[in-house]
Amino acid sequence: MSRPILPNKPIAEQMWVKPVYILIFLLMGLTGFAQMPIFKRYYIADIPGLAWLDQYYVTHTIHYLGAIALLSLIAYCLVIYWALLRKQYRLTVLAWIRVVLLAGIVGTGIFRVLKNLPDVVFSPGFTMFIDIAHLSFMMLYLVMALISVLTRQKWLRVKASIY
């Protein structure tokens, strides 16, 4: 009879994955909103040390680097879950909702990257749809993340033992 590894304690990967994940999302949120000119419009960029938030290409590059980091972290977590954890743990319902929303964020983000390529042209309606969908998926994800914090529901739950 095999027992789950550390059933009521954080998984070893959470020691560094969770802080990195939160840092990436904070960075992505900040630079994502900086893509819209709200920081200059509301004089936030005038605060000493925050002038870089008004520089579109700086925030654009940081957002792309954050996207690379997020995709790398997602790939790492998928491999760890499928290779090591899926026999002992399962995703919670809230985690599945967050997975779907993350897929929407990544999918629409890919279309936004394609839109920025010089040889790719989307119709104005499709471009607006992608932009609004990307922002909507992100806002819904933040709501689900807040719900998971308030309910203290983790991504993984120990599978019930038959024995």
- For the stretch 53-89, pLDDT in tens is 888 899 999 999 999 999 999 999 899 888 887 888 8
Is there a single domain that holds both residue 2 and residue 54?
Answer: yes
Q: Last residue of some domain: 58, 87, 116?
A: 87
- For the stretch 119-134, pLDDT in tens is 999 999 999 999 999 9
pLDDT recorded at residue 115: 92
pLDDT recorded at residue 5: 47
Is there a single domain that holds both residue 36 and residue 109?
Answer: no
What is the reported pTM? 0.81
State both tokens at 1.
């009879």
- Cα 62-56-113 angle, rounded to 5 deg: 60
Is there a single domain that holds both residue 18 and residue 83?
Answer: yes
pLDDT recorded at residue 88: 83
pLDDT of 47 > 80? The answer is: yes
Domain that holds residue 146: 90-163
- For the stretch 146-163, pLDDT in tens is 998 899 888 888 887 655
- Total domains in the chain come to 2
